[in-house]
Amino acid sequence: MSLAVHQAVLQRHSVRAFLDKPVETRVIHRILERARFAPSGVNTQPWQVSVVTGQSKQRLQAAMLERFNAGERGQMDYHYYPDEWKPPYKMRRIETGKRLYGALNIAREDKERQLAQWAANYRAFDAPVMLLFWMDKGLQTGSYLDYGMFWQNIMLLALEEGLATCPQGALGEYPEIARAQLGYGDDKLLLGGMALGHEDLAHPVNQYRTDREPVEAFSRFFD
C-alpha cells in the first residue's frame, strides 16, 4: 500500500487493539532503515531502539505488570507531563479520557475496568512488537525534538507497510526493569515505547478519534 504523505498523516492514529498476527523482522528492519533519515541537530542521530518480541516481550511486560498490579507507580527517566495541568491542556486530557472509556463502554465510576485498560499499556496493547527508545543521558533538549521526528517517521512508514502503531509514554515508566532485562546501562535514558502490529479494525477502542485545533487557533501569520 502506497500513501501520499498527507494521506498518511491524516490516517495515522493511536491503535490500542491489535490482531494476533506476527510482523516479519524484515519489515521492521525496513521501517527502521528508512526512519533513520530523520533530521537531527548536527547529525547527532540520538536514537537507539530495542525491538522486543516473543519471549523477551512476555518477560518484560510481565515484570512491568507485576509492579503495576502491586500498586507501585513507575518513575520515568524524565518529566513527560506537567506537574500541574492548566487550560487548555487539562480539558484536552479529560476529553481524551472520556472518548477512550466511552468507546469501551467503561463508566466513570468503574475504576476496576479503568485500571485494567491502563494495565494494557504495559502489554503494548497486545501488539506483537514493542519498540523501546533510548538515548544517552548526556544529550539535551534538542535531542528530544530530534527523537520526535524519528518517531513520526516510524509511524508513517508503518502505515505504508499496512501496520498500525501507538506511541506510548507508559512504556517508559519502569526504566530500571527494561534496563535490567535488556542489558542497558544507567547511562541510557528510556524515553518511551511504541506498539507495532496489525490493527484490529473491528475493536471499538480503535473507532474513536481525538480532535485537533484549527490552524487559526495556534498560528499567527506575519507579512
Measured torsion, CA atoms of residues 79, 81, 85, 91, in degrees rounded to the nearest 10? 180
Q: Assess if residue 94 is contained within a domain.
A: no
Q: Per the domain annotation, does 145 fall within a domain? A: yes
- Considering the domain boundaries, does residue 34 fall inside one? yes
C-alpha cell at 206: 480503535
Q: In this structure, how many other beta carbons lie within 10 angstroms of the beta carbon of residue 151?
A: 20
- 55, part of any domain: yes
Asked whether residue 46 is domain-assigned, the answer is: yes
Query: Does any domain span residue 104?
Result: no
- In which domain, by residue range, is 187 found? 5-80+122-203
Residue 166 covered by a domain: yes
Phi–psi pair at 172, nearest 5 degrees: -105, 10
Number of structural domains (the chain) is: 1
CATH of the domain at 22: 3.40.109.10
The answer to whether residues 157 and 34 touch, using CB atoms and an 8 Å cutoff, is yes
pTM value is 0.95
Q: What is the pLDDT along the chain (223 residues), one digit of tens a residue?
A: 567 899 999 999 999 999 999 999 999 999 999 999 999 999 999 999 999 999 999 999 999 999 999 999 999 999 999 999 999 999 999 999 999 999 999 999 999 999 999 999 999 999 999 999 999 999 999 999 999 999 999 999 999 999 999 999 999 999 999 999 999 999 999 999 999 999 999 999 999 999 999 999 999 999 9
Long-range interactions of 1-9: CB distance < 8 A, separation 24+: 1/159, 1/160, 1/161, 1/162, 2/160, 3/159, 3/160, 5/156, 8/156, 8/159, 8/160, 9/156
Count of CB atoms situated within 10 Å of the CB of 106: 17
Q: Which of 168, 158, 170 is nearest to 197 (CA)?
A: 158
Residue 93 lies in a domain: no
